[in-house]
Chains A and B, each alone.
Chain A
Amino acid sequence: MSTAFDIMLLLFLIATALAVARAKDLLAAALIFSSYSLVMCLLWQHRGAPDVAMTEAAVGAGITTVLFLVTIGRTTRREK
């Protein structure tokens, strides 16, 4: 059975994913993806998977976001 907290987290995840789809500025899309990764980490911590949550926090919000930002810096910033 899911509690209201779980459903709120899941709705936030879906809203963030839709915001990534709609953002025209690639820098904004990368940062919204970083917040999506953070909420996913919170969801997994709430579900009793602390190892996976720590890995997702360190890798998704740390390494992947930095690599996306470096790529955006070396290429274009706006989506045509």
Chain B
Amino acid sequence: MLEALWNNVDYVASVVLFCIGLYIIIAKNNLIKKFLGLNIMETAVFSFIVALGVVDGGEPPIMGPDATPPFASPIPQALVLTGIVVAVSTTALALSLIIRIYRQCGTIEADELREME
């Protein structure tokens, strides 16, 4: 099994980054730090999906006069483009909510917010 993991070192790195992001979300108290962790988790998933479509010696899937096969697969790249847009949308909305929470409650630490009311 270690041999299989060494062949797919890209996927293993994505799993490690996903776990680091999960650790930041669970263990840290500050809301802004939690959203940094969420962004790390999201980019780890995107990296995993893009790594699925890679071919050895492959080129970007752009047809030109001098483009030679093999090409990298275009489907994961299209999915990840939509995913990046959704990630930035949720980040923008989450940061607006954090500003509103700070103006209304005066703090953005999770345990202080839990004890407030």
Indicate, yes or no, whether A interacts with B: yes
Binding site for B on A (CB under 8 A): 1-2, 6-7, 10, 13-14, 17-18, 20-21, 26, 29-30, 33, 36-37, 40, 43-44, 47-52, 55-56, 59-60, 63-64, 67-68, 70-72, 74-76, 79-80
Partner of A33 from B10, B30, B39, B61 at Cβ < 8 Å: B39
Binding site for A on B (CB under 8 A): 7, 9-10, 13, 16-17, 20-21, 23-24, 28-30, 32-33, 36-37, 39-40, 43, 46-47, 50-51, 53-56, 58-62, 71-72, 77, 80-81, 84-85, 88, 91-92, 95, 98-99, 102, 108-109
Q: Chain B's interface: helix, strand, loop or mixed, by majority?
A: helix
Partner of A68 from B23, B36, B53 at Cβ < 8 Å: B36
Subset of 30 A-B contacts with CB under 8 Å: A1-B7, A13-B13, A18-B20, A21-B24, A21-B28, A21-B37, A26-B30, A26-B32, A26-B33, A40-B43, A47-B50, A47-B51, A48-B58, A48-B59, A48-B60, A48-B71, A49-B53, A51-B60, A51-B77, A52-B50, A52-B80, A52-B81, A59-B88, A60-B43, A60-B88, A71-B98, A72-B32, A75-B32, A76-B108, A80-B29
